[in-house]
Amino acid sequence: MTPIPQTMSGILIEQTGGIEVLRWKTDLPVPQLKEGEVLVRNEFIGVNYIDTYFRTGLYSAPLPFITGKEAAGTVISVHPSVSSSDSPVKEGDRVAYIGDRTYAEYTAIPAANVAPIPDGVSTSLAAASLLQGLTALTFVHEAVGLSPLKPLGVGSGPWVLVHAAAGGTGSWLVQLLTLAGAKVIGTAGGPEKVGIAKKNGAQWVIDSRAEDVVARVKEITGGKGVDVIFDGVGKATFEADLDMIARKGTLIMFGNASGAVPPVDLFKLTPKNLKLMRPSLFGYITTPEERAAYTKELFDLLLTGKINVKIHDIYPLKEVGRAHSDLEGRKTTGKLLLKV
C-alpha cells in the first residue's frame, strides 16, 4: 500500500476575487476519509468555467475552500464501510469523478461518485471528458430529447444553435447534436475558433466577433430561426437569442461566461410561445442509475472514437491562475487540464 502523507499541495481560496486569490499551498491537510468515501491521488484536474464562478464569488462557498469540480487519478485508500456492492472500486484503480475540492493532490470522494476508467481511455482523456461530456450528453438527451445513439434521418432534425462552439462544452454539444441528426449552427469568436467549430461538425459557423449573428441565423434558416439554442455565454447573448429563435423554440441558458442573465420578464416568452430552461448537469445525474447510465454512454462514445476531445493545454497545478486567465480571456478552445 502506498503510504499516505499528512500534508499535500493544492490551491486554496481564502477570499474571492481575481486570479491572485488562487493561492498555492504545500501544507494543506490530506483529507481524512469519512464513511462511504475513497481517497483519490489526482493526476489530472479538469478546469471548468464554474471554477471561475466560485473564485470570483458569483457562486458562493464557505471560506477558505479548495475549488475544482473534476479530476482523474488513482484510488489509494477505501474507507472500510465501502462494500463491493456499493462500489466496484478498489485501491489501485484508475478513476474519474465529479466532486468538490479537486484542485489538490488528494481528494476524498463518495465511492458511489467515482467512475472506473475503462482500458483504452487515458487518465487525461477521462479528466478532460467527464464534466463537459456529461453536461452535453444529458442536455441533448433530457432537455431536447435527442440521442446520438438514435440519429434522426438526414435533414429531418431540428435547427440547433450552439454558442461558443469551439469551447469545451460547446465542442461536445456540436459533436453530439451532429451525431443525433440536428442541423447545427455554431458561433465562435474569431477565424481559428470558427475552423475548430467546423471540425467539430457544425454545418454553419458564424464568427461572433465579426458577423451579425442574428441576421446570419435568419439567413441560414430561411427566416424561420432556430428551434433550439444552447447558450453558456449568458448575459451578452440572451436578448439576441430571443430574436433568432423560432416560434415554439426551446432556449437553454446554462451558463454565465459573460455574466449572469438578469431576472427575466416572462412575457418575453409569449410572442413566440417559447420554452426557457436553466438546467444543471447535477439535476440530470442525481440517482446512481442516471449517473452510471450516462457515464457508460460517455465512455462508449470515447472508446468507439465517435467524439474527439481537443485538449487546449495542460498547465501545472501551481499555474492555475494562467489557466483561469486564458479561459476568461476567451483565449482557449476545447478543454483545459491541470497536471498535479
Q: Which helix (H) or strand (E) holds 52?
A: helix 49-56
CB of 132 to ligand NDP, least distance (A): 5
DSSP letter (8 states) at residue 152: P
Is the peptide bond preceding residue 64 cis, with omega within 30 degrees of 0? yes
CB closer to ligand NDP out of 188 and 246: 188
Burial 295-322 (b: 16+ CB within 10 A, else e): bebbbebbeeeebebebbbbbebbebbe
What are the angstrom distances between the C-alpha of 286 and each of 113, 138, 211, 283, 289?
10, 12, 40, 6, 8
Order of all β-strands in the sheet with 65-66: 22-29, 7-13, 65-66
Return the residue of 102, 107, 113, 208 that touches ligand NDP, per CB under 6 A: 208
Check residue 258 for interaction with ligand NDP (CB under 6 A): yes
Cell of 29: 491537510
Check residue 135 for interaction with ligand NDP (CB under 6 A): yes
Q: Which among 267, 277, 270, 222 has a CA at the least distance from the CA of 244? A: 222
Check residue 103 for interaction with ligand NDP (CB under 6 A): no
Query: What is the pattern of x (binds ligand NDP, CB under 6 A) and - over residues 260-289?
Result: -------------------xxx--------
Check residue 164 for interaction with ligand NDP (CB under 6 A): yes
Cell of 313: 493545454
Report d(CA 185, CA 202) in Å as an integer: 6
Query: The dihedral of CA 86, 92, 98, 101: what is its sign?
Result: positive
CB of 222 to ligand NDP, least distance (A): 25
Check residue 69 for interaction with ligand NDP (CB under 6 A): no
Check residue 323 for interaction with ligand NDP (CB under 6 A): no
Check residue 176 for interaction with ligand NDP (CB under 6 A): no
Applying CB under 6 A, the site for ligand NDP has a residue count of 30
Check residue 309 for interaction with ligand NDP (CB under 6 A): no
CB of 30 to ligand NDP, least distance (A): 28
Question: Which span (88-96, 118-126, 159-167, 267-275) binds ligand NDP, by CB under 6 A?
Answer: 159-167
Check residue 175 for interaction with ligand NDP (CB under 6 A): no
Check residue 173 for interaction with ligand NDP (CB under 6 A): no
Q: Which among 120, 125, 50, 124 has a CA at the least distance from the CA of 309? A: 125
Task: State the amino acid at position 160 in one-letter form.
Answer: V
Check residue 42 for interaction with ligand NDP (CB under 6 A): no
Query: What is the pattern of x (binds ligand NDP, CB under 6 A) and - over residues 222-241?
Result: ----------xx--x-----
CB closer to ligand NDP out of 73 and 189: 189
Residue nearest to ligand NDP (CB): 255
Report d(CA 190, CA 302) in Å as an integer: 28
Residues that bind ligand NDP (CB under 6 A): 48-50, 132, 135, 164, 166-170, 188-189, 193, 208, 232-233, 236, 254-258, 279-281, 327-328, 330, 332
